[in-house]
Amino acid sequence: MAAQQIDAFLRATAAALTVRIVPARARQTERTRFPSVWPVLLLACCVVGCNPAPSSSPGPPPTPSRVVVVGGGTPGAPTARREIYIFNAGSGNFEEPPHLMMESRLAHTATVVGSGSGAFVLVAGGQDGQGHASRTTEAIAPDGTSRSLASMNTERVAHAATLLLDGRVLITGGDRFAGNTIFILSSAEMFDPAQGTFTLTTDLGGNEMNAARVGHTATLIEDGPARGKVLIAGGAGTDPEPLRFSTP
């Protein structure tokens, strides 16, 4: 796919939280990194979760849901942002002042891991403030504070992250770049919150992606014969047929 088509596709989908996969072999395409005028890309996810089901016995009021909005970009500005904004559903307002991530990020992923007081948002990869692809990750706690986690095995921008039934997070595809050359990735890796590590799926007895996918969807199947698998479909620069990915 031409570089201009990739940029046009990413600009059209930048406002949405997308999950993507990549090819069996790394491809390379000439491109001038991300465009200098980048639509605002804010990845949001719920930290505390929805309110619990009502109980017949009286008790304290449920904790209001809260939403974390992390990083992104500003139109006309070439650099990524570091801000962590927390929206409180109880007050209807964003909490002030905003917190800061360990580094600026654009086109990253943000995935809620765990539940209750031990929950955190796993923020992974993206383009950093210097315009480089990042492989670093961090955890954002419900109070907005951030701490560094282990790094992924490779730099990833505009990749996908899917929370699995067993609590692990599957990271798929994305791209990395050197100069004006962009490499679309075929690899996938697993984040294990119990160990705090990222492991390539090939090292777990699994496989890589068999097609290059950018801007695809990656959806966990929660019932039926394919329960526990991740359905990968669509995207740019790939075979249009859906791919059902077996998690190792």
More confident residue, 204 or 34: 204
**pLDDT digits over 125-138, tens only?**
999 988 899 999 99
Domain boundaries, the chain: 3-48+64-245
Does the pLDDT of residue 112 top 90, yes or no? yes
Is the per-residue pLDDT at 26 higher than 80?
A: no
CATH architecture of 3-48+64-245: 6 Propeller (2.120)
pLDDT tens track for 136-190: 999 999 989 999 999 999 999 989 999 999 999 999 998 888 777 888 888 899 9
CA–CA separation, 151 and 168 (whole Å): 15
Q: How much is the pTM?
A: 0.73
pLDDT over threshold 70, residue 12: no
* pLDDT average, residue stretch 20-28: 31
Q: What number is the average pLDDT over the span 33-46?
A: 34
- Please state, in angstroms and as integers, the Cα–Cα distance from residue 210 to each residue in 1, 7, 21, 219, following that order: 17, 23, 9, 17
- How far, in Å, are 61, 72, 102, 119 from residue 147 at the CA level? 30, 19, 7, 13
Q: At residue 70, what is the residue type?
A: V
Digit-coded pLDDT (tens) for 68-94: 999 998 877 768 999 999 999 889 999
Mean pLDDT of 30-53: 34
